[in-house]
Structure 1
Amino acid sequence: MDKTFLIIDDDPAVCKMLELLIRSNGLGRVVCVLHSGESAVGEVLFYQPDIVLLDMVLPVTGGVTIVRQLVSSGFAGKCVMLSQISDRQMISRAYEAGILFFLNKPINAIEVVSVLRSAMELVHLKQTMNTIRSTVLSVPDESQNPQPLSIEAQLSDIFRDLGLIGTAGIEDIQAVLLKIIAHRRESREPYQLKEIYSAVCQSRGKDSDAAQRALEQRIRRTIQKSLSTIAQIGCADYYDSVFTEYAALLFDFRQVQQEMKHIRSPREEQGKINTKKFMEGILSRITV
């Protein structure tokens, strides 16, 4: 289904250019164009577009105020702001209000199309997850006394939430987690990840420094992918249950925020991961 856009800008030329870019690049359809902030919130809530493109400075009601009112009204779409203003504090206030991306004027056509496509992907991701969640919740309980899930099944559920199903590194992460669980059953001594890596490699008949480094690299790449997934979910919906459950549990939340900045602007540095925090966070969700 085509994505829908609503444009709010007091410059008719900008509105025409945005409409042309959306139409000529097959991004979707524009359902409404407004040239003032007056009644903008009511119009957005009426049309319920997927993406709102709006200027920061508008007659009657400013763009930041409009975004705040939309968020407080439960608007499910995403807001992309355009402005000639370059003041960092004002841009920060716009992000705090709830915008997804900020674009500087004058408009750069390539940048606009790239940002809108990213916004569309985030909207699609949220819609897909909502569909999956509603489908799962609608499945009736076939057993009044369900059997407890195995550790492997519990891990699979977590990996699915984190978007890691089908990723090569999840077998390595699962093997490391099972070794940590086995270590805790046998000893009260704290574990060292390098020792766990060595034990995993030994069980696979590849106990060498090169094998351990390769194992660690696969695990770190997989955890970095998970951080990116969580950050994308946070960009799409800051209150999504997966985001609120795992963002601070598996990562330093400041690094999640940094990854969100990177998604919004690739010039920003990526967020960093902490392998042990990730492992401990998953273990805290496992019933052994």
Structure 2
Amino acid sequence: MSLRCFLIEDDPVVRKMLERIIIESGIGEVVGEADDGMHVSPDQLYSVDVVLIDLLMPGLDGIQTMKKLKAQGFSGPFIMISQVENKEMVGQAYLHGIDTYIHKPINRYEVVSVLKRVAEYLSVTSSLDSIRRLLHMLEKNKHSGVNCPLSHHSIGYEKTSFEQKVQHLLLILGIAGEAGASDLLHIMQWLAEQERKGQTIHDLPHLKELYISVLRHTHNIGNEQALQKEMRAMEQRIRRMVFQAFTHLSSLGLTDYTNPTFEHFAPRLFDFEEIRLRMQELESAEKTTKCRTNVKKFLTAFYMEVKGA
């Protein structure tokens, strides 16, 4: 997950350091900043994932600013930044809602470590929320006797176990909150229906043909130009999501090479040599990647995993 960060810090040097660390580490971007908390409003934080805020500032201090923004509706996490060692003051900060703490002087490794933990937390939270919404919708549809709206055709409530397997696997791979997750679910449903018709799944059609077939199956798009446009958008969403899964597995392997999720899924969903290269890139904090991901292999292997789950 790429974090959208907002900085509230009266020292421009510290703001610049934080921005450089956030960008160079590849963990996210700074979408806004302020030198005090007086004039920061929830409107400025509309697309923000996390706020990094100084404890001691002129005007409103960090705790006062945090209380104000929470009262005005911002529900995202706060990371407090300060060189204050007073345990009582730090305790007050936690009491009023900070999620974690970064010490001054700024240490790159501490900043990256803290932000990665926050990103993982937000990713898991988003994934769980998606699953809760899905299960709530399925339960509602079960009682109302209607087909699940995730598929506009013959896949109804009786197929929810298949859909739940897809959602579970998305969560394991760290991509349940990605924009392409619903596209992947539709693709899996379409593949299941094709297999029921007697078609083999081991040799998928060209990806663009696959996406067009799925879109025609799940969307009422009569205009060919609109269909092509939506196909390209789906292609981008799927590609980004597959790369996110690729990076997630690589980061698991980098942390623990014997991680069971890494051991099982990395060689099945991706070329393991590419996984090794991605691990090296993550370890050296490279901003760009030379890795290649085989989307067709991923989709085929993902479907086989869901079937065997």
> Could you state the TM-score of these two structures normalised by the residue count of structure 1?
0.49
> Could you state the TM-score of these two structures normalised by the residue count of structure 2?
0.46
